[in-house]
Copies of this chain bind each other. A is one copy, B any other.
Amino acid sequence: MGGAVTSLEGIIQSGGRRYRTATEYVEATLKQAILSGALLPGTPLRQEELATRFEMSRMPIREALRQLEAQGLVDFEPHRGAIVVEITLADADDNFAIRSALEPQALRLSLPHLGADDFALADEVIAEIDGETDPARMGELNRRFHMTLYAAAGLPRLLALTEQHLVAADRYLRFHLATDGDMGQAEHRALVAACRSGDETEAVAVLGRHLARAKAGLTGFFAARAAT
């Protein structure tokens, strides 16, 4: 490990940050577009159209769509093409049931390995959320907050699955900015406090309430939408 080489770190990193293949690029871009709401639910994704937009052939598009299908972000019907998955109450319920199972588990496994640095980072994110008004950015920060507390679990698949469903939930929320605009900051603070004192039972309980509250808000939104 020579000292002179360390200066290359940043360059290598940013080089590695670039996409190694067109399919990767398309997948990441479409994923972002779907989750951010830029592509509305139900939007048909025509391969030819995407190909011209991305300035490449249909092939990388096809492979990217296949991967998004496996991730549950698009619905694929043979010979009929792909559409952005719809947002329904049933899906939201489903998502919350999964999150309510995964997140407490991740928290339990992570809690014993959390240190002062992690709590400080969590506090920082909470503060950032306080100062933020852009809903898209708030969703991103909310996700970062949760994942910060789970990260020490050290189980990559559990964490990836958890984050995936957190991101999906964020997508639901993005379509009902209606709520008070508060992401449950009181609960966020209570959660960090419980974690700091190492109280697993309390932490899991707070997290459970936090998720239940988010679910209630979303259910209310769907009820309101159905009523109009």
C-alpha gap A104/B67 in the complex (Å)? 29
- Report chain B residues within 8 Å CB of A94: 155-158
Q: Closest residue to A102 on the B side, CB-wise?
A: B101
Q: Which residues in A have some Cβ–Cβ distance to B below 8 Å?
A: 20-21, 23-24, 62-63, 66-67, 69-72, 78-79, 90-91, 93-95, 97-98, 100-102, 104-106, 109, 153, 155-158, 161
Q: Are B20 and A158 in contact (CB under 8 A)?
A: no
Q: Which 3 A-B pairs have the closest CB atoms?
A: A70-B70, A101-B105, A94-B157
C-alpha gap A51/B69 in the complex (Å)? 23
C-alpha gap A100/B104 in the complex (Å)? 11
- Report chain B residues within 8 Å CB of A95: 157
Q: Closest residue to A105 on the B side, CB-wise?
A: B101
- Report chain B residues within 8 Å CB of A21: 78-79
* Most chain B beta-carbon neighbours within 10 Å: one of A20, A24, A66, A90: A66
- Out of B67, B100, B155, B161, name the residue touching A93 (CB < 8 Å): B155
Given contacts A63-B63, A67-B69, A101-B104, 17 further A-B contacts (CB under 8 A): A23-B66, A24-B78, A63-B66, A66-B67, A66-B70, A67-B70, A69-B70, A70-B71, A90-B155, A93-B155, A94-B157, A94-B158, A95-B157, A97-B109, A97-B158, A101-B102, A161-B161
Q: 14 A-B residue contacts at CB 8 Å?
A: A20-B78, A23-B66, A66-B66, A66-B67, A69-B70, A91-B157, A93-B155, A94-B156, A94-B157, A95-B157, A97-B155, A97-B158, A98-B157, A101-B106
C-alpha gap A66/B24 in the complex (Å)? 11
C-alpha gap A62/B66 in the complex (Å)? 10
- Report chain B residues within 8 Å CB of A93: 155
- Report chain B residues within 8 Å CB of A101: 101-102, 104-106, 158
CB A93 to nearest CB in B, in angstroms, measures: 7
